[in-house]
């Protein structure tokens, strides 16, 4: 039977990257076309290449021929499809899409028939898709039919979808083709991979038109025929010649995205040098700098090994590009640090891309140099967050705006946005939709939808709600629009626009390419991640306060630093400041750099879900013996006491214990990242367990390794990133231990960043005996400064004050009155009000109310003749409570008493204990406590537990809220500012948790602090 099926290539097919039209993922389309035995599939998203890399990867895996093209609607209404035959026509189409997109606002495009001149010289193929309209021949078709440039590569597409009269339609198209002298070819105008996506496709149409699906009428497609149809069905619909023509066209399209590799920029290498020779020269120079006493032999071997592989795989450009960017940053005193597998290579250490000494680490170089993998090395570089823009501008300047561009981030539907859009499409009232989508708070999984619907007062069994839930599950994960990636640059040899289309971003003047980071990685294109890291800004500032210039001046392996870390005294320290990290530190007791590498990686959902944490801790504490099933495994796991903790170790285990090749191990890594979403680890399970059994491992061990791999899922943390982070952990901890004043000032000057708000940082510093002085127009600069080891708050802490105004104040001192301040620093009334609110006018005006009176009396625009200040009314000084509330409102912190201290008597009467009191209670006791909520966090583990941190004048309380309590007391949990908790004390050494049973909201007490008639409750975060 199979032999009588006609061959068919689908030449007109949209994926969900044609937003709100296509109803299937590119991968789904490719998989279906392959299953149906199509000869080829052309992905022709409307004016977009955004989905083609995903399709390309899938098509390669399935051995399906993929054709790249695009559907375009020209001004005047004619719809066409362009198909690439070779690299040149691909580039021409890409440039055409770019032109059409760049002249229109985000998400739209416009293209005139004349624009097709851009593809005239190339070998692009053109299918015209005429409207179903009787009468005259479209002018476009007449013209293109007689255009010698397009002769032999233009067709009219016959797209039959069981409409009112397909036979008549086909005859009509035949006549049209004859009139224009163009051949006819079958095509499907495919919008979905299977017919069952029809409802979703209708719903997408409704969302696109912005009205309920019931009102869309004939704007919807009349049926679900726009799917990848069975070839038997196509044989019934089309004459054989039209089907054969699809295959003939497909045979002319022989461009693969794989051809785009190696289009690296060339200017990094001076004339007379090859990329290889130049990289070697730079590496040797670096080694001389790093190792003044001569390169250690082990490092020398590593360097030779790495350089050989880099040359073999032609990856020099990656290293040279990153080196160039890093050298620029160094020349500007911008602190930076590379991370990723390649970043922690010996070569990168020599090039100054990383500070992690290869002698200190056993690096897994294979992660980026497997010959079986077509993937480029992974180097991300973090820069000080407030100065990253300078680096970005450098890249643009060096390569030109046409050759360097930022990667896209594909913004996808999440359950909440899916429900919101679908709810409207299904005709739910706005209120209902808002209720459901509000209830979907940030921790909800897809499966929670039904429960949420019930809570919102919707019947989960009604037709609308069932449809909402069913469609919502599919729509979640659909791409929605493209946004700019935070810092992933693609740099090309020729114009980027001929590599991938560029379109306008939402922000004016910004553009974005149509591929995201993963796309670039999958194609092996040259990509440099220029990322922003707040901690680097803080570290550079702190080093500066301490009179140091670079991180390598910080003394290494200081025991005092590790002692502090072991007591979890780590507020503000990079990475290890979160609740989960802090409760791990006293148990893991890090005592050297490598322990920090482990600490950074172990408190992650991967190791936690894989069940690695407890075995590791037990072994570390000597409770459990450290054993290895074999010598090979010992080599891989020795540094983590036989428990796999890093992503690399899992891969290496697969290699040494199950006989995977490095390439297969990497495929495993990528599947690990994806299996939660798509599944697909089963083939590896079989292979892994068989491989281990064959090599003499016990089935029990094999299965435990497999379970650990599953647990790792997408959250496995690579050692190579951990190693770079651990260095910053150490440096920031060293500063906190020895110079808490410099640490606080630097962190405040680098806000917003990190886990804690300024209020908590200041509280913590004061607990460490750092004196903190108020912001004051008479002494403060814009930044926070050190006054002989006391921290003086800077004017930057004053809410609403523009930096320029702050700088003028610092430059125009001294002043004797508010009027003089206003005049000399050219401040307007708004600036002065901000200063008054912050209490920064105290020296000039007296208490805050007087400061407000004087500030508001200034001219709204600074004038030369400042009026006399007039009569000053008698205003009573504000109460302490009002002062504290006003401090929080303006500065986000108070230097006065903690707000909870003022409520202590009341809380005592309510039987709510303080944090200090809780520390004295024994394990298992039942207590009641209350404090300001400073943090709510739900770790990415699926267990559903929520961490809440309460703060009062005596310290913090770590509250654990399990799912059942969280569900029952959602409102208190999410909205209370002053939260009361009744629960049980759980103690494990130094680690104390309060496990909540009941929550109560006492926020109304806070509102009273500000006085009887306070306008609204203030935010104490």
Partner 1 sequence: MRGHAPPEAGRQALAAVATWLGQFTPRLTLEPPDAMAAEVQGSLRLFGGIGRLKTRLRTGLAELGFEASLAFAATARAALWRAAGGGSPLEELPVEITGLEPDALDLLHGLGIRTMGELMRLPRDGVTLRFGRGLLAELDRALGKIPEPRLFFVPPARFAARLELPAPVTQADGVLFAARRLLVQLEGFLAARQAGIRGFTLAMMHDRALPTPVAVSLAAPSREAAHFLLLARERLQKITLAAPVEAIRLEADDLEPLPGATAPLFRDARAAGEDWTRLVERLAARLGGGAVHGLAVHSEHRPELAWRSTAPGVKAPAALAPPGPRPLWLLETPRRLGEGDFALLAGPERIESGWWDGSEARRDYYIARSGDGSLAWVYRAADGWYQHGIFA
Binding site for partner 1 (CB under 8 A): 161-165, 167, 198-199, 202, 213-214, 216-220, 222-225, 426-427, 463-464, 467, 833, 836-837, 848-849, 852-853, 856-857, 867, 870-871, 873, 875-876, 878, 882, 886, 1011-1015
Q: Look at residues 673, 675, 709 and name the one whose alpha carbon lies nearest to residue 689.
A: 709
* Tokens describing residue 949: 């941190």
List CB contacts of 316: < 8 A, sequence separation 6 or more. Answer: 275, 276, 278, 279, 310
The torsion region of residue 492 among left (phi > 0), alpha (psi -120 to 50) and beta comes to beta
Question: Which tokens is 431 given?
Answer: 């209120």
- Give the residue with the Cβ less far from partner 1, 226 or 323: 226
Residue (511 or 890) nearer to partner 1, CB? 890
Q: Which is nearer to partner 1, 407 or 798 (CB)?
A: 798
DSSP element (H, E) containing 625: none
The two structure tokens encoding residue 179: 């009139």
Q: How far is the CB of 873 from partner 1 (least distance, A)?
A: 5
Give the CA dihedral 719, 724, 729, 730, nearest 10 degrees.
110
Collect contacts of 993-998 with beta carbons under 8 A, ≥24 apart: 993/583, 993/958, 993/959, 993/960, 994/918, 994/927, 994/929, 994/957, 994/958, 994/959, 994/960, 995/959, 995/960, 995/962, 996/948, 996/959, 996/960, 996/961, 996/962, 996/965, 997/965, 998/965, 998/969
Q: Which is nearer to partner 1, 216 or 826 (CB)?
A: 216
Rounded to whole angstroms, how far apart are CA atoms 671 and 668? Answer: 5
Tokens encoding 225? 């025929």
In 3D space, the residue among 887, 951, 959, 974 whose CA is nearest the CA of residue 756 turns out to be 951
**Choice between 463 and 864, CB closer to partner 1:** 463
Q: Both tokens of residue 567? A: 């007591």
Q: Could you tell me the smallest distance in angstroms from the CB atom of residue 833 to partner 1?
A: 7
Q: Could you tell me if 809 and 795 are in contact, meaning their C-beta atoms sit under 8 angstroms apart?
A: yes
> Whole-angstrom Cα distance, residue 644 to residue 267?
43
Q: Least distance from C-beta 799 to partner 1, angstroms? A: 13
Nearest approach in angstroms of CB 990 to partner 1 is: 44
- When the beta carbons of 784 and 1010 are compared against partner 1, the nearer one is 1010
Residue carrying the six token digits 């010698």: 148
Work out how close the CB of 14 gets to partner 1 at its nearest, in angstroms, rounded to a whole number.
19
Residue closer to partner 1 (CB basis): 226 or 387: 226
- Min dist. Cβ of residue 821 to partner 1 (A): 17
Minimum distance, C-beta of residue 807 to partner 1, in the bound complex (Å): 25
Q: How far is the CB of 875 from partner 1 (least distance, A)?
A: 6
Give dist(CA 271, CA 278) in Å, integer.
10
Q: Closer to partner 1 at the Cβ: 213 or 543? A: 213
* In the complex, minimum distance from the CB of residue 358 to partner 1, in angstroms, rounded to a whole number: 59
Output the smallest distance, CB 423 to partner 1, in A: 12
d(CA 597, CA 726): 5
Task: Select 634 or 880, whichever has its Cβ closest to partner 1.
Answer: 880
Please choose, from the candidates 758, 737, 740, the residue with its C-alpha nearest in 3D space to the C-alpha of residue 749: 758
Provide the minimum distance between the beta carbon of 220 and partner 1 in the complex, in angstroms, as a whole number. 7
What is the nearest approach in angstroms of partner 1 to the Cβ of residue 73? 21
Q: Which residues pair with 488 in a beta bridge?
A: 529
Q: CB–CB of 395/488 below 8 Å?
A: no
Give yes or no for a contact between 250 and 187, defined as CB atoms under 8 angstroms apart. Answer: no
| CA 806, chain centre distance (Å) | 33
Nearest to partner 1 of 575, 894 (CB atom): 894
Task: Specify burial of residue 388 (Cβ count, 10 A radius: 0-12, 13-18, 19+).
Answer: buried
**Largest Cα span, the chain:** 102
β partners of residue 960: 947, 995
498, two tokens: 């001929």
DSSP state of 909: H
The smaller minimum CB distance to partner 1, of residues 181 and 222, is found at 222
**R_g of the chain, CA atoms, integer Å:** 33
Task: Tell me the C-alpha to C-alpha distance, in Å, between residue 348 and each of 134, 304, 354, 370.
Answer: 67, 13, 6, 18
User: Cβ 23 to partner 1, closest distance in Å?
Assistant: 14
Pick 161 or 252: Cβ nearer partner 1: 161
CB of 903 to partner 1, least distance (A): 21
**Gap between the Cα atoms of 42 and 228, Å rounded:** 12
Minimum distance of partner 1 from residue 221's CB (angstroms): 9
CA distance 585 to 597: 12
Q: Which is nearer to partner 1, 191 or 848 (CB)?
A: 848
**Phi then psi for 533, rounded to 5 degrees?**
-135, 115
Cα distances (Å, whole numbers) of residue 754 to 5, 343, 750: 62, 24, 9
Closer by beta carbon to partner 1, 323 or else 848: 848
Distance CA 343, CA 178 (A): 62
For partner 1, which is the closer residue by CB, 194 or 810?
A: 194
Nearer CB in complex with partner 1: 833/993: 833
Residue 525 CB contacts under 8 Å (≥ 6 apart), including other chains? 260, 261, 263, 376, 490, 492, 499
Nearer to partner 1, 269 or 875 (CB): 875
Quote the least distance from Cβ 198 to partner 1, whole Å: 6
Query: At closest approach, how far in Å is the CB of 800 from partner 1?
Result: 12
Q: How far is the CB of 882 from partner 1 (least distance, A)?
A: 8
Judged by beta carbon, residue 826 or residue 889, the one nearer partner 1 is 889
For residue 167, the number of C-alpha atoms closer than 13 Å in the C-beta half-sphere is 1
């Amino acid at each position: 039977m199979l032999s009588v099926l006609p061959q068919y290539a689908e030449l007109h097919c949209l994926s969900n990257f044609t937003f709100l039209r296509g109803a299937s993922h590119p991968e789904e389309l490719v998989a279906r076309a392959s299953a149906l035995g199509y000869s080829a599939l052309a992905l022709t998203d409307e004016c977009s290449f955004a989905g083609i890399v995903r399709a390309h990867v899938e098509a390669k895996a399935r051995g399906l021929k993929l054709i790249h093209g695009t559907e375009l609607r020209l001004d005047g209404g004619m719809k066409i499809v362009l198909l690439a035959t070779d690299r040149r026509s691909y580039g021409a189409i890409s440039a055409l899409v770019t032109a059409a997109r760049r002249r229109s606002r985000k998400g739209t495009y416009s293209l005139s028939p004349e624009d097709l001149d851009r593809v005239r010289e190339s070998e692009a193929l053109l299918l015209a898709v005429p409207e179903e309209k009787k009468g005259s021949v479209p002018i476009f078709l007449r013209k293109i039919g007689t255009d010698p440039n397009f002769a032999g590569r233009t067709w009219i597409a016959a797209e039959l979808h069981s409409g009112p009269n397909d036979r008549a339609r086909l005859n009509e198209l035949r006549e049209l083709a004859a009139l224009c002298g163009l051949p006819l070819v079958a095509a499907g105008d495919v919008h979905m991979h299977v017919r069952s996506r029809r409802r979703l496709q209708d719903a997408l149409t409704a969302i696109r038109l912005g009205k309920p699906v019931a009102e869309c009428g004939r704007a919807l497609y009349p049926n679900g025929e726009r799917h990848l149809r069975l070839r038997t069905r196509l044989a019934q619909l089309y004459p054989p010649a039209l089907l054969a023509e699809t295959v003939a066209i497909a045979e002319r399209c022989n461009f693969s995205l794989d051809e785009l590799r190696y289009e690296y920029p060339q200017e990094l290498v001076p004339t007379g040098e090859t990329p290889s020779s130049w990289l070697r020269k730079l590496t040797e120079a670096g080694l001389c700098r790093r190792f003044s006493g001569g390169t250690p032999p082990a490092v020398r071997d590593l360097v030779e090994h790495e350089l050989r592989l880099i040359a073999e795989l032609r990856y020099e450009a990656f290293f040279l590009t990153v080196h160039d960017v890093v050298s620029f940053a160094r020349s500007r005193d911008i602190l930076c640090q590379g991370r990723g597998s390649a970043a922690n290579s010996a070569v990168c250490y020599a090039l100054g891309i990383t500070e992690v000494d290869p002698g200190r680490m056993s690096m897994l170089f294979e992660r980026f140099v497997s010959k079986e993998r077509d993937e480029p090395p992974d180097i991300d570089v973090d820069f000080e967050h407030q100065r990253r823009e300078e680096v970005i501008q450098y890249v643009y300047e060096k390569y030109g705006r046409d050759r360097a561009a930022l990667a896209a981030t594909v913004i996808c539907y999440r359950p909440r946005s899916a429900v919101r859009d679908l709810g409207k499409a299904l005709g739910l009232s706005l209120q209902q939709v808002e209720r459901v989508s509000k209830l979907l708070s940030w921790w909800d999984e897809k499966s929670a939808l039904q429960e949420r619907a019930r809570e919102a007062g919707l019947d989960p069994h009604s037709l609308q709600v069932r449809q909402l839930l069913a469609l919502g599950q599919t729509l979640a994960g659909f791409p929605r629009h493209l946004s700019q990636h935070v810092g992933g640059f693609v740099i090309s040899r020729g114009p980027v626009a001929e590599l991938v289309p560029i379109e306008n971003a939402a922000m004016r003047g910004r553009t974005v390419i149509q591929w995201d980071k993963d796309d670039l990685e999958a194609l092996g294109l040259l990509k440099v991640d220029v990322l922003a890291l707040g901690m680097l800004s803080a570290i550079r500032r702190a080093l500066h306060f301490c009179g140091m210039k670079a991180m390598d001046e910080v003394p290494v392996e200081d025991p005092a630093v590790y002692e502090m870390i072991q007591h979890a005294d780590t507020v503000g320290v990079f990475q290890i400041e979160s609740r989960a990290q802090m409760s791990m530190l006293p148990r893991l007791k890090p005592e050297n750099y490598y322990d920090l590498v482990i600490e950074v990686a172990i408190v992650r959902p991967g190791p936690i879900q894989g069940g690695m944490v407890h075995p590791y801790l037990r072994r570390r504490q000597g409770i459990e013996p450290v054993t290895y099933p074999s010598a090979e495994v010992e080599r891989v796991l020795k540094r983590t006491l036989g428990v796999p903790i890093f992503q690399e170790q899992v891969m290496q285990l697969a290699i040494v214990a199950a006989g995977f090749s490095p390439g297969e191990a990497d495929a495993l890594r990528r599947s690990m990242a994806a299996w939660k979403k798509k599944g697909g680890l089963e083939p590896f399970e079989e292979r892994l367990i068989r491989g281990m059994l064959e090599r003499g491992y016990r089935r029990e061990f094999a299965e435990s390794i497999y379970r650990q791999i599953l647990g790792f899922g997408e959250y496995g943390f690579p050692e190579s990133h951990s190693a770079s982070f651990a260095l910053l952990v150490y440096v920031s901890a060293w500063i906190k231990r020895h110079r808490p004043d410099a640490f606080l000032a630097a962190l405040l000057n680098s806000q917003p960043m990190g886990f804690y708000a300024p209020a908590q940082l200041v509280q913590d510093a004061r607990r460490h005996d750092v004196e903190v002085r108020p912001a004051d127009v008479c002494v403060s600069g814009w930044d926070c400064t050190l006054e002989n080891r006391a921290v003086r708050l800077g004017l930057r802490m004053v809410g609403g004050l523009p930096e320029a105004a702050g700088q003028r104040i610092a430059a125009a001192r001294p002043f004797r009155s508010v009027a003089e301040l206003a005049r000399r620093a050219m401040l307007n009334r708004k600036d002065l009000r901000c200063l008054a609110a912050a209490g920064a006018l105290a020296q000039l005006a007296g208490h805050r109310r007087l400061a407000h009176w004087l500030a508001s009396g200034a001219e709204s625009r600074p004038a030369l003749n400042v009026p006399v200040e007039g009569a000053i009314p008698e205003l009573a000084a504000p109460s302490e409570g009002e002062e504290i509330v006003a401090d929080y409102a303006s500065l986000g912190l108070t230097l006065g008493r903690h707000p909870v201290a003022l409520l202590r008597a009341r809380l005592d009467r309510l039987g709510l204990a303080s944090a200090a009191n809780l520390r004295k209670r024994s394990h298992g006791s039942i207590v009641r406590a209350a404090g300001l909520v400073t943090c709510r966090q739900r770790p990415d583990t699926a267990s559903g537990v929520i961490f809440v941190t309460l703060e009062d004048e005596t310290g913090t309380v770590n509250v654990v809220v399990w799912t059942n309590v969280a569900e029952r007391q959602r409102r208190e949990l999410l909205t209370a500012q002053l939260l009361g908790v009744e629960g049980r004390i759980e103690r494990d050494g130094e680690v104390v948790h309060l496990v909540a049973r009941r929550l109560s909201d006492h926020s109304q007490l806070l509102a009273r602090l500000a006085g009887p008639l306070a306008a609204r409750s203030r935010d104490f975060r």
